[in-house]
Chains A and B, each alone.
Chain A
Amino acid sequence: MKGFAPYSAAARGLALCETCRLVSPVRRGYCPRCYTRLHLRFKQSLQRTWALTIAATILYFPSNLLPILKVESVTGEQSNTIISGVIQFWQQGDYPVAIIIFTASVMIPVLKILAIVALCLAARTGRRPLAMTRLYRVTEFIGRWSMVDVFVVAILVAVVQLGSTISIHPGTAALSFAGVVILTMLAATSFDPRLIWDAAGSDSRLTTNHG
């Protein structure tokens, strides 16, 4: 049996309902208010988080190497990857857009994967729990914004169906990139931040100076 953080609900056999946040004894099995199954911690939190993160890392490669958008015009066919799209915006002088797309599509996914790995490690070592909890909150919040490139593709494809001189088609990377974003979002939600405090609490040196 793993140790729970001192002063934690779990150490007293109390579980927080994941749905309605009522605190009740875990041995009741189900939340008396909303009938959700009670757990002290998310089930197989670290296993699931690792698995989803590894899958996201693998998908990250095709999503950056393959084209995300294909533009056909009189001058020929042109394939854009995420990076070449960013470079195009930059060369045309649309610096803010280039920065937004680069941040949302290139930086955030990588930083998010690294952050989740750091969180998984912190759940074992229990080091710097306060900073790690903050990292967890940021990771949960920013993940969705990576989806911006997928929406750009969806809108361009929908709006340019003129049958005129230009036609736009989505590329394979659009699918794998959406996969990266969804998988990292799932990884962040399956991670249980309380594990960090459990690990920190079991090491007596760290309980006093978590500020």
Chain B
Amino acid sequence: MHPFATSHQLACPECDALMEIAALHEAQRALCPRCLTTLQTYPRNSLNRTAAFAAAAAILFLVANWFPFMTLRAGFRESQMMLWQSASGLETQGYPYLAAAVSLFILLAPALLIAGLLYLVLPLFWNRRLPGAIEICRAVFWARRWNMLEVFLLGALVSLIKLGKLATLSLGISFWAFIALILCLTSALGSIHPRELWGRLEMAKQ
């Protein structure tokens, strides 16, 4: 029995079936009997894992943006590409809107996700809630949809194959950090237990 369960009713977000909340054990999940949508999961050790993976993701995000992503060598020339240059390159070529979209997908949304998660979850260990927690929580769930790190990785692999024929490419530290970043951020998001998170936020002192 959760101390923070404020309402005992649950509505399926996809078919609106009204139900009583099931008491889940760790690693179990509840499906909607009508439309089979996953209603809730109970990730193991949710708060600890979310915090740990988000902290790791924060460090990896800095590493991925600090070091070169790829290096291209052709003859005696060498050019290094930083992660953010995939957005700024489009801007200098006259595509500011596209640059804005790309920076939202691979820089802003992930940064907002990581920072937002840490801002929400860390104070909860001391049963505190920082100002604006509800807005941040909403922003985190919004940013989740527009975070496209894994799609960018697929794009990077395709460009490696495309350019590999023209020049010598080597992968930078940022590239490997980027892969680890995807794993950590996905794990952090997967460990969130929304019901517990909202309940704890509600109970926490401001």
Contacts and interface: CB of A to CB of B under 8 A. Distances in A.
A198 to B, nearest CB: 8
Interface residues of B, number: 59
Nearest to B102: A154
A152 interface: yes
Contacts of B105: 147
Residue from B15, B37, B156 having most chain A Cβ neighbours under 10 A: B15
Interface stretch (B3-11, B41-49, B54-62, B183-191): B3-11
A155 B159 contact: yes
Interface in A135-153: 136-137, 144-145, 147-153
Contacts, number: 192
A83 to B, nearest CB: 15
B1 interface: no
A23 B98 contact: no
Contacts of A185: 145
B148 A160 contact: no
A33 B4 CA distance: 12
Interface in A19-35: 19-24, 33-35
Interface string B158-183: 11011101100100000000000000
Interface string A114-142: 00000000000000011001101100000
Given A162-B77, A170-B93, A145 B151 contact: yes
Nearest to B197: A20
Contacts of B154: 100, 104, 145, 148, 151
Contact of B7 (A24, A149, A164, A174): A24
A159 B90 contact: no
A159 B18 contact: no
A164 B75 contact: yes
B198 interface: yes
A95 B56 CA distance: 36
Contact of B79 (A94, A129, A161, A189): A161
Contacts of A197: 15-17, 34-35
Interface in B46-87: 70, 72, 74-75, 77, 79, 81, 85-87
22 contacts: A7-B17, A21-B195, A34-B134, A35-B134, A92-B165, A136-B14, A145-B154, A147-B151, A147-B155, A150-B98, A150-B101, A150-B155, A152-B159, A155-B159, A158-B85, A162-B72, A166-B166, A170-B93, A170-B98, A175-B97, A194-B15, A198-B16
Interface of A: 4-5, 7-10, 12, 14-16, 19-24, 33-36, 89, 92, 94, 97, 100-101, 104, 129-130, 133-134, 136-137, 144-145, 147-166, 169-170, 174-175, 178, 182, 185, 189, 193-194, 196-198, 210
